[in-house]
Structures are given as C-alpha cells and as structure tokens.
C-alpha cells in the first residue's frame, strides 16, 4: 500500500525501517511483492527489484525472495523465466512464496482440488508444498487438528514438505506455549523432524535479519531438542549447526 502511494525508494526504505523489528522482515516481503509485481507486468523484471534485494533489503533476503514468489503466483508468470537471473540458492524461497500465495488465495484450486499451477516447474514442487503448509497454519486459524486433517488430505509423499511449512509458520510467528508446541509435535508424528526443520529455517531467517524473537527461538530449540537423539543434553553449537544445514539444503 505504501509503495503504491509514494514514489521513490528512499521513502519506502525509511517506512520499512520504522516498522517494529519483529515485523520488519514481513514488511520487506510485502514490498518485494509490490515491486516485483509491477516489474513483471511491465516486462522490466528484475530491475529495481534486484537493486532493492541486493541493497537495502539484503538482510531480509529470505523474505524478499518469498515476496517474489507471491508476485509470480499472483501474476501466473513463468517461474523459470522469472528466476533465471537470480541466486539459485534462494529458488526454494521463491517456490515457498508461490505455494503460500496459492494456498491462501486459491484455496479451492490448491488445497481442495490439489491442482498444481502451470507456471511452476517440477523442481520447485517440494518447496511449493512447503509454502502451502505455511498457509495452512493460518487458513485453519492455528487449529492443529484441522491443520493435520488438511495435510492428511494430500498424498503421503507431500506430507514432509507440508509439515516443514507448518514448522516455519508456527516458529516464525510464535505465541504458542510449550504444552501447545509439544501437542503440535505429537500431531506431526513421523514428520516431527520435518516440523523441527521448518522451525530451524524460521530461526535462521530471523537471525540473519536481526529480528529473532523469544517465541521463535524457544519453539525451534524445543522441537529440535525433542526430535534429537541427545534429548535435553543437546548443546547450543549442535543446534546452530543444524540450523545452518537446514538453510543450506
């Protein structure tokens, strides 16, 4: 909304930097979508968007690439065409954003009918479902029984990606008590490690952006501890190495 009404990147950056730290990366994600959508529709991508991403938004790169996924999904733009000049290491974030958008705004097509979009290449499908998993946490209003029912409606080979997305959503937003987090992990069952990996991704993103919250850190540590062979004796450096490995993969 701000980007649409105000000309000039400096004003946009000032606006984003004035947003409360906990929500700043999400605001950068939204700005990324607005810039990318305008450029995709005008045939100018990745002009200003790339300058924004590599410059003032660099600390929020994960969320900025997710925002690009929103724009690709909204415009039905070819995923392969949009990403060909971008960092391949972040393609998964773009696909996640596509899945999140379709799961949120094309619910019947995506979640009920299980229809994959034409704009999406096969290689992007796993993290596309991760994005759908993220959207499910919100579309089901954080009702874990309903979230589980939605995931169970998908083919079993997609469950790991969907639970990883749920892990990202729960950890990133926070707000759950330890008892609630244990209940969510119990619902995940055999996919508990995927849930914990999603939480590790959320923690990694917040750490890189300098927006880490108590809720994100607590969730990620708890799930990793409960799904680790080391149990409560897990060491901090082991946890941080796990976060790094999840982010790299």
What are the tens digits of pLDDT across the range 146-156?
999 999 999 99
What are the tens digits of pLDDT across the range 153-211?
999 999 999 999 999 999 999 999 999 999 999 999 999 999 999 999 999 999 999 99
Query: How many of the other CB atoms lie within 10 Å of CB of 22?
Result: 15
**Structural domain spans, the chain:** 1-131, 140-249
Residues 6+ positions from 105 with CB-CB distance below 8 Å: 74
The whole-model pTM stands at 0.89
Tens of pLDDT, residue by residue, the chain (249 residues): 555 555 578 889 999 999 999 999 999 999 999 999 999 999 999 999 999 999 999 999 999 999 999 999 999 999 999 998 898 888 999 999 999 999 999 999 999 999 999 999 999 999 999 999 999 999 999 999 999 999 999 999 999 999 999 999 999 999 999 999 999 999 999 999 999 999 999 999 999 999 999 999 999 999 999 987 644 444 444 444 544 554 454
Residues 6+ positions from 128 with CB-CB distance below 8 Å: 95, 96, 98, 99, 102, 116, 120
Q: What is the pLDDT of residue 89?
A: 86
């Amino acid at each position: 909304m701000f980007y649409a009404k105000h000309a000039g990147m400096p004003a946009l950056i000032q606006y984003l930097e004035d947003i409360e730290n906990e929500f700043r990366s999400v605001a950068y994600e939204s700005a990324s979508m607005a810039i990318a959508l305008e450029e995709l529709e005008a045939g100018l991508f990745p002009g200003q968007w790339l300058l924004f991403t590599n410059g003032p938004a660099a600390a929020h790169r994960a969320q900025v690439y997710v925002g690009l996924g929103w724009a690709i999904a909204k415009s039905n733009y070819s995923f392969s065409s949009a990403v060909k000049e971008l960092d391949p290491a972040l393609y998964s974030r773009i696909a996640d954003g596509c899945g999140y958008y379709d799961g949120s705004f094309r619910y019947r097509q995506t979640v009920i009918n299980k229809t994959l979009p034409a704009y999406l290449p096969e290689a992007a499908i796993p993290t596309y479902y991760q994005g759908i998993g993220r959207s499910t946490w919100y579309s089901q209003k954080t009702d874990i029984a309903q979230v589980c029912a939605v995931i169970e409606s998908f083919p079993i080979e997609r469950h790991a990606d969907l639970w990883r997305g749920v892990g990202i959503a729960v950890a990133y937003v926070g707000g759950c008590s330890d008892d609630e987090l244990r209940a969510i992990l119990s619902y995940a069952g055999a996919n508990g490690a995927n849930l914990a990996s999603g939480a590790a991704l959320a923690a990694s993103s917040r750490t890189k952006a300098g927006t880490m919250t108590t809720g994100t850190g607590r969730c990620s540590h708890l799930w990793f501890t409960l799904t680790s062979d080391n149990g409560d004796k897990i060491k901090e450096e082991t946890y941080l190495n796990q976060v790094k490995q999840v982010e790299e993969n």
